[in-house]
């Protein structure tokens, strides 16, 4: 049996690796972006000079041949689902028995005049990185449009080369659709402290370019301001990269529709990663989640299903992490920008305005709901176990030291977090467990009581 995989990102490569572990089927991974799998989240560090492209490639070149995984460089132009054939841009055809679509995302474009000019790019593919590098020579100013995680990464990239940046964000605070107000204020301050000209409540209206070269040279905002620039970064989110599948029988609705086994409406066709949209997502989860770890989980799940071991996709407890210049961010569990009426929150912020801990819990039962961390590191396994076991917030607080994952000589703030709860509740809780690997291991070995 020949299994073709369109896309060599984390989803497609994980699927290929697990298919090889579970079977002896012929496997072909297809991508026009490049022949080698690389860590997409590390692209920014190549530009910043911290890594080379080869440093972002987890596998040696011999890995694919040794594991009998064929790599095909090329863009799939059309898919003949009835005939089970892939047709490439050069006319070549490739038959398959089963197909996994892991074609990822593309930067959003909202019909702005000038959005296709030279010097207008997102930051998602290797080609985007190459374009950004090409336009950086002699660049006097860049404009970034959109306040998500990719936008802050692009801002840091230009900042590392001392290229002035104007950052347009339509919201009143940075990323306030995801971060609670206090954390959003913190990141907003930190962006400006790093010399980024952050323009809140400001949107892109159009992009002007040179008539002869077709290169971007100026943008106009919704407020009528004209800003000269030689590069415009479009970072207002991403959407599934599925145009080549339009006008086929594949069911799509802002993503390829899949069931819990990652099957599409067409037999022997599966979809995973950024392009896959769950028909019936798990409670509290979005139908489409363009996140690295969920793509990895889907890659393993689809391999089991193709190999005859029926396994439903379960993303588990939500988590994510990012970095805003020097401030590291982690979130575990159900922690929304606006506190639900059924939840209460404990929020502690350091005097330096660069570290905070937020713990949400269900008001009536006291069971823990989620953690939001800025500049402080907590252990994923410990937080997840507390959430999975519906642990009471007071037990969590008294053992908060178990979660601390900061280096050994960093100052601990767990008692300060407890003091916030004590002030809110009138209790007098004290920290019992301080960080220590042996205590953490004992805690994690304890059987989950569900």
Q: Which residue has the tokens 């913190």?
A: 186
Between the alpha carbon of residue 110 and those of residues 145, 178, 205, 237, the distances in Å are: 11, 21, 10, 11
> For residue 31, what pLDDT band results from cuts at 50, 70 and 90?
very high
Q: Are residues 11 and 39 in the same domain?
A: yes
As a residue count, the chain comes to 450
pLDDT in tens, 316-354: 999 999 999 999 999 999 999 999 999 999 999 999 999
Q: Which helix (H) or strand (E) holds 131?
A: helix 126-136
Q: Are residues 88 and 130 in the same domain?
A: no
pLDDT over 60 at 449, yes or no: no
Classify residue 115: in a domain, yes or no. no
Q: Are residues 20 and 61 in the same domain?
A: yes
Q: Which helix (H) or strand (E) holds 219?
A: strand 216-221
Q: Are residues 405 and 340 in the same domain?
A: yes
pLDDT at 433 (0 to 100): 64
Q: Are residues 410 and 356 in the same domain?
A: yes
Q: Are residues 94 and 41 in the same domain?
A: yes
pLDDT in tens, 16-30: 999 999 999 999 999
pLDDT at 230 (0 to 100): 96
pLDDT at 35 (0 to 100): 83
Q: Are residues 338 and 422 in the same domain?
A: yes
Classify residue 312: in a domain, yes or no. no
What CATH number should be reported for the domain holding residue 153? 3.50.50.60
pLDDT over 90 at 147, yes or no: no
Q: Give the tokens for residue 263.
A: 């099957």
Can you give the residue range of the structural domain that contains 255? 2-106+239-306
Classify residue 313: in a domain, yes or no. no
Q: Which residue has the tokens 């799939």?
A: 76
Q: Give the tokens for residue 409.
A: 């000589």
- Domains in the chain, number: 3
Q: Are residues 227 and 257 in the same domain?
A: no
For residue 242, what is the DSSP state?
A: -
Classify residue 113: in a domain, yes or no. no
pLDDT at 368 (0 to 100): 98
pLDDT at 450 (0 to 100): 35
Last residue of a domain, which of 190, 219, 236? 236
For residue 378, what is the DSSP state?
A: B
Question: Cα(80)–Cα(57) distance, rounded to whole angstroms?
Answer: 32
Classify residue 67: in a domain, yes or no. yes
Classify residue 112: in a domain, yes or no. no
pLDDT at 440 (0 to 100): 81
pLDDT at 411 (0 to 100): 85
Q: Are residues 385 and 284 in the same domain?
A: no
pLDDT over 80 at 448, yes or no: no
For residue 391, what is the DSSP state?
A: -
pLDDT in tens, 174-220: 999 999 999 999 999 999 999 999 999 999 999 999 988 899 999 99
Q: Are residues 341 and 433 in the same domain?
A: yes
Q: Are residues 90 and 135 in the same domain?
A: no
CA angle 233–89–124, rounded 5-degree value: 20
Classify residue 294: in a domain, yes or no. yes
pLDDT over 50 at 387, yes or no: yes
pLDDT at 34 (0 to 100): 84
- Please tell me the chain's helix, strand, coil percentages from 3-state DSSP, rounded to the nearest 5: 30, 25, 45
433 or 218, higher pLDDT:
218
> For residue 155, what pLDDT band results from cuts at 50, 70 and 90?
very high
Classify residue 111: in a domain, yes or no. no
pLDDT averaged over the chain? 94
What is the torsional sign of CA 14, 16, 20, 23?
positive
Q: Which residue has the tokens 């460089």?
A: 73
Q: Are 300 and 273 in contact (CB under 8 A)?
A: no
Last residue of a domain, which of 199, 220, 236? 236
> For residue 416, what pLDDT band results from cuts at 50, 70 and 90?
very high
Q: Are residues 294 and 193 in the same domain?
A: no
What CATH number should be reported for the domain holding residue 379? 3.30.390.30
Phi, psi (rounded to 5 degrees) for 306 = -65, -35
pLDDT in tens, 242-268: 999 999 999 999 999 999 999 999 999
Last residue of a domain, which of 218, 236, 254? 236
């Amino acid at each position: 049996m020949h299994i073709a995989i369109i896309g060599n990102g984390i989803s497609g490569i994980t699927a290929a690796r697990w298919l090889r572990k579970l079977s002896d089927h012929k496997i072909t991974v297809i991508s026009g972006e490049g022949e080698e799998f690389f860590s997409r989240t590390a692209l920014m560090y190549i530009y910043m000079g911290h890594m080379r492209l080869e440093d972002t490639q987890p596998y040696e070149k011999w890995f694919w041949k040794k594991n009998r995984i064929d790599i095909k460089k090329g863009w799939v132009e059309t898919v003949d689902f009835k005939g089970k054939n892939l047709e490439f841009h050069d006319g070549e055809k490739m038959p398959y028995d089963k197909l996994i679509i892991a074609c990822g995302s593309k930067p959003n474009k909202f019909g702005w005049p000038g959005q296709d000019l030279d010097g207008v790019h997102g930051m998602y593919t290797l080609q985007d990185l190459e374009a950004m590098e090409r336009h950086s020579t002699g660049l006097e100013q860049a404009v970034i449009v959109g306040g998500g995680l990719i936008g802050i990464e692009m801002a840091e990239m230009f900042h590392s080369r001392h290229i002035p940046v104007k950052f347009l964000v339509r919201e009143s605070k940075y990323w306030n659709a995801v971060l609670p107000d206090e954390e959003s204020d913190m990141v907003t301050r930190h962006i400006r402290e790093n010399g980024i000209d952050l323009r809140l409540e400001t949107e892109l209206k159009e992009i002007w370019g040179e008539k002869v070269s077709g290169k971007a040279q100026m943008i106009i905002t919704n407020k009528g301001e004209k800003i000269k620039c030689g590069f415009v970064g479009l970072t207002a989110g991403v959407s599934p990269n599925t145009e080549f599948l339009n006008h086929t029988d594949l069911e799509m609705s802002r993503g390829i529709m899949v069931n819990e086994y990652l099957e599409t409406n067409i037999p022997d066709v599966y979809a995973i990663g950024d392009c896959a949209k769950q028909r019936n997502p798990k409670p509290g989860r979005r139908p489409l989640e363009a996140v690295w770890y969920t793509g990895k989980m889907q890659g393993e799940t689809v391999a089991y299903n193709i190999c005859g071991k029926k396994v439903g996709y379960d993303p588990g407890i939500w988590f994510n992490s990012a970095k805003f210049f020097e401030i590291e961010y982690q979130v575990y569990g159900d922690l929304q920008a606006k506190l639900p009426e059924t939840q209460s929150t404990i929020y502690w912020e350091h005097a330096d305005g660069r570290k905070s801990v937020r713990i949400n819990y269900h008001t009536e039962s006291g069971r823990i709901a989620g953690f939001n961390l800025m500049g402080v590191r907590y252990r994923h396994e410990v937080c997840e176990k507390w959430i999975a076991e519906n642990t009471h917030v007071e037990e969590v607080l008294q053992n908060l030291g178990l979660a601390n994952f900061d280096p050994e000589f960093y100052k601990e703030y767990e008692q300060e977090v407890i003091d916030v709860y004590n002030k809110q509740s009138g209790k007098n809780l004290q920290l019992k467990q301080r960080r220590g690997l042996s205590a953490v291991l004992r805690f994690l070995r304890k059987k989950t009581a569900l």
